[in-house]
Each structure stands twice: as structure tokens, then as C-alpha cells.
Structure 1
Amino acid sequence: MPHSGILQHSAKDDVIGSCHQPLIDAQQSLLIDSGLFQNAEPPLTADPVSIA
């Protein structure tokens, strides 16, 4: 019996986008992640020791 379809996985908290999981057969699938982080803190630009 063929096993096909696409599972949809949605984002959580500060992640936007989604994840798609095409089902190839009963034991194989492919996970495609198209999510991005939002509201993440910007990277640290100063040496923490110098501002202590």
C-alpha cells in the first residue's frame, strides 16, 4: 500500500515559518525547515570584560 502525503509542522514562540515533511514511503520522509528566529537579541559587539 503506498504511503504518501505531507505533514505540516508549525512554529512556536519566537520562531516564524514552518516545517514540511513529505512522506516518501512507510519508513522514509524528508524534513524541510523554513523557519526563522525573530525578536532575537542582537549579537554582542563589545568585549564583556571591557564594560565590567
Structure 2
Amino acid sequence: MFRRRNRRAIQVRYFHDTAAAVGFAGLLVVIMKSAEVKGFLLDLVRTALEVPM
């Protein structure tokens, strides 16, 4: 009986963690589509790739 309850608790935990990860990924997609964020990231990458001479 304990194992069955424990197994269900683990399944619920996996479902909860997966749902949270999917929600966070969706939020990141919305943020990344923003023109302001996209411009900031492009500037950041360009600055990081510049080679000082």
C-alpha cells in the first residue's frame, strides 16, 4: 500500500514539474519574440564576438 501511494506521489510530482517546465518555456517564447529583447540579445552577441585589435 505504501509503495502504491509513493508511486502516485512521484507521478504527480513528475506531472507538476513537467507542467511547470512547459509553462516556463511558453513564457520564454513570448519574451523572445519581443523586438526589444531580440535587439538587446543581438547587441549582446555582437559585442561578445567583437575582437579587440
Short-chain TM bin: under 0.3
More helix by share: 2
More strand by share: 1
Higher relative contact order (CA 8 A, sep 6+): 1
Could you state the TM-score of these two structures normalised by the residue count of structure 2? 0.26
Question: Highest CA radius of gyration, 1 or 2?
Answer: 2
